[in-house]
Chain A
Amino acid sequence: MSEDATTAQKTGLEPKKVLGIFALAMINVAAVLSIRNFPSMAEFGWSSIGWYIIGTILFLIPLSLAGAELATMLSDKGGGVYAWCKEAFGTKGGFVAVFCEWSNNLVWFPTVLAFIASTLAFAISPALGTNAVYLFVVMMIAFWGTTAIAYFGENVSSKFQNVGVILGSIIPSILIIGLGVYWITSGSAIVLPPFSWAQVVPTFNLSTLPFFATVILLFAGMEMAGFHALEVRNPNTDFPKAMAISAVIIFFCTVMATLAIAFVIPANELSLSAGVMQAIQYFFTALGIPGAVAPMAILITIGGVVSLAAWLIGPALGLGVVAQEGNMPPIFNRTNKHGSPVAVLFIQALIGTFVSLLYIFLPSINQAYWILSAMTVELLCIVYLLVFASLIKLRYSRPDAPRPFKIPGGIPGIWLIGGMGAFGVIFAFIVGLMPTGGSFTTGQTISYVAGILIGTFLLAVPPLIFLKLKKPSWIETGNKEG
């Protein structure tokens, strides 16, 4: 069987075409739009707009356009970024890209799971948020529950995400924006200083530079819909529309909700020390509706779970395709009757559980947390650099391939869009190595940078080892359940 044969041919399973524009857009919104970003960004006041514009120009727009072009060009191939980068750089490039997208999650899962558990605690009893047993139990329910939903395939998981993202991300965002508008129209004072364009410009110095990496990757996840290519009803028309819709929803909700919070809560009161819910509580109390805090905590928890689901399912699907093509040992190649890569999902859940266990029960892991967190950023930068490089390279190596959506402007246009994206992620990779906050001694800084580089290398290198060990029999040994 040829290397380029589709996943469906290889597995014998014809994927069900269950996804339309709305479902695709919601997958991206679930992966990117997060309420927990708003209070943090609101600390920057008017300059949050400037930071968002930087992230939009250097990342959101390039990645949305790149995703639309590559997903429509390669709509018959499964694996998302794997298929895109493989087409440009061969199996090695595609495998490294999708593996980095998958492995960065293993470090990130405990963080988002702890956020889910501590936010839910706010709705029940805030004191629970510091109870390690409570945290771990809720984290595991969320993690294995989401894995179970992924087990039942695209139809079930997309319905779950559609409902979840509306309840947990879009409704809370619109609520915050609406209350911000009410705050202004009711004559209450805006706590921000009077608007001026000078205040929109972010402050660039050594202490804010590391934040650049965070801002660039604030919109990470716009490629997530691409992992579901084989399940899309009309990929040639649906992908570009879904990309545009999700980018507009994400940008509008993020900017407006951040400003709404910044209008109501004074910057020096906007402490996140006890969690994002501390800011949300202040917001609703200032508006005279403290009773809304607990329901809001539940909605934000739901938003956290759908974000987790988007990142848990997408890259696992991509890695499943890699396994089906015989690039990983047969143990990874198990697909069930719903088309879900059960072996990858199970191994992912086991590793995530183990890392979460250490995260919760090890004492004080503050500095190590920063290293792991920075590794997440670096691994994502590798993924996106490969995506932007693929976008440019394919215009040269496959200039005549049908592109139902084509970035306008010919070669200069592709260099402009791909170049901006590549510049953004390369810069983010470099500044992502810088320690934040100035709380590191010289010795700690050296071990911090070395830790990030070594850790990133370790989490990016397994594909090369797998390909070295690869045997023709791997493609035949994998089997399917049911």
Chain B
Amino acid sequence: MNEVDNSAWAVMLILILIILLPIGWIMVVSTSEPYHIVAGEPLREALENSGITVVSAVNSTLPLPGATGGKIYTLSDENGNLITIQTQPFDSAGSRDAAIKIHNAQSVGKGKPIEDLVVVGNHLIFVRPGTSGTIKKILPELQKIKAR
């Protein structure tokens, strides 16, 4: 009987440790990205409010269902290098979340994808490697827009 008890405890423990607790994190954090329509161009607004000049903006919609009217912004960083940031609004929570999953599936080896993702309501902002310094600068502005 003790044998069975030990086995049962061990199996329960492994299930709790491996599944419930880490996945619990998902459940807790997943509520932090609610879908809502953010009017206008949040990235451009955040860039301008942070004093970063947009060199150019071209229309570019991702080939994904529900993607509507995306843009690629070219801006100049503090060293004078031109960097590009892509932003893409989606017409529903389902299409936005599907795009997030596709992005997250593009990991390098067993690590993460090299591009980071910022979620602002219905917009996804794709952050390329080496541009995170700029994103850090505009993050407070994006947070304000998120909270609107």
Q: What is A's interface to B at a CB cutoff of 8 Å? A: 32, 34, 36-37, 40-41, 43-44, 103-104, 106-108, 111-112, 114-115, 118, 126-127, 129-132, 135, 203, 205-208, 211, 213-214, 217-221, 268, 271-276, 278, 328-331, 351, 354-355, 358-360, 362-377, 380, 436-439, 441, 447, 451, 454-455, 458-459, 461-462, 465-466, 469, 471, 473, 477
Does B29 sit within 8 A of A, measured CB to CB?
yes
Check if B95 sits within 8 Å of A369, measured CB to CB: no
Check if B103 sits within 8 Å of A329, measured CB to CB: no
> A364 and B25 in contact (CB under 8 A), knowing A129-B102, A276-B106, A458-B18?
no
Q: How far is the CA of A362 from the CA of B26 in the complex (A)?
A: 9
Check if A368 sits within 8 Å of B106, measured CB to CB: no
> A371 and B84 in contact (CB under 8 A), knowing A274-B63, A354-B19?
no
Please name the residue on chain B nearest to A122 by beta carbon. Answer: B63
Check if A41 sits within 8 Å of B108, measured CB to CB: yes
Residues of B within 8 A of A207 (CB): 129-133
Residues of B within 8 A of A372 (CB): 22, 25-26
Q: How far is the CA of A276 from the CA of B107 in the complex (A)?
A: 10
Chain B 120-148 interface mask (CB, 8 Å, partner A; 1/0): 00001011111111011001000100000
Residues of A within 8 A of B62 (CB): 271, 273-274, 278
Check if A358 sits within 8 Å of B17, measured CB to CB: no
Taking a contact as CB atoms closer than 8 A, the residue among B13, B22, B99, B109 that contacts A375 in the complex is B22
Q: How far is the CA of A212 from the CA of B74 in the complex (A)?
A: 26
Check if B109 sits within 8 Å of A368, measured CB to CB: no
Check if A380 sits within 8 Å of B110, measured CB to CB: yes
Residues of A within 8 A of B33 (CB): 364, 366-367
Does B27 sit within 8 A of A, measured CB to CB?
yes
Check if B3 sits within 8 Å of A477, measured CB to CB: yes
> A273 and B86 in contact (CB under 8 A), knowing A214-B114, A367-B33, A439-B118?
yes
Check if A459 sits within 8 Å of B18, measured CB to CB: yes
Give A258 Cβ to nearest chain B Cβ, in Å: 11
Does B14 sit within 8 A of A, measured CB to CB?
yes
Residues of B within 8 A of A203 (CB): 130
Identify which of residues 1-45 in chain B touch chain A, using a CB-to-CB cut-off of 8 Å. Answer: 3, 6-7, 9-11, 13-15, 17-19, 21-23, 25-30, 32-35
Does B51 sit within 8 A of A, measured CB to CB?
no
Taking a contact as CB atoms closer than 8 A, the residue among B23, B99, B115 that contacts A130 in the complex is B99
Check if A130 sits within 8 Å of B86, measured CB to CB: no
Q: How far is the CA of A135 from the CA of B97 in the complex (A)?
A: 13
Residues of B within 8 A of A376 (CB): 110-111
Check if A331 sits within 8 Å of B11, measured CB to CB: yes
A-B pairs, top 8 by smallest CB distance, nearest first, are A437-B116, A130-B98, A214-B111, A438-B136, A438-B132, A329-B7, A114-B105, A207-B132
> A114 and B111 in contact (CB under 8 A), knowing A43-B129, A208-B129?
no
> A214 and B108 in contact (CB under 8 A), knowing A365-B29, A477-B3?
yes
> A437 and B127 in contact (CB under 8 A), knowing A132-B98, A374-B112?
yes
Residues of B within 8 A of A377 (CB): 110-112
A and B contact pairs by CB, cutoff 8 A, 19 listed: A32-B109, A112-B105, A130-B94, A214-B114, A220-B109, A272-B115, A273-B124, A274-B99, A362-B30, A363-B30, A363-B97, A364-B33, A364-B35, A366-B117, A367-B33, A436-B116, A438-B135, A455-B25, A458-B22
Give A293 Cβ to nearest chain B Cβ, in Å: 12
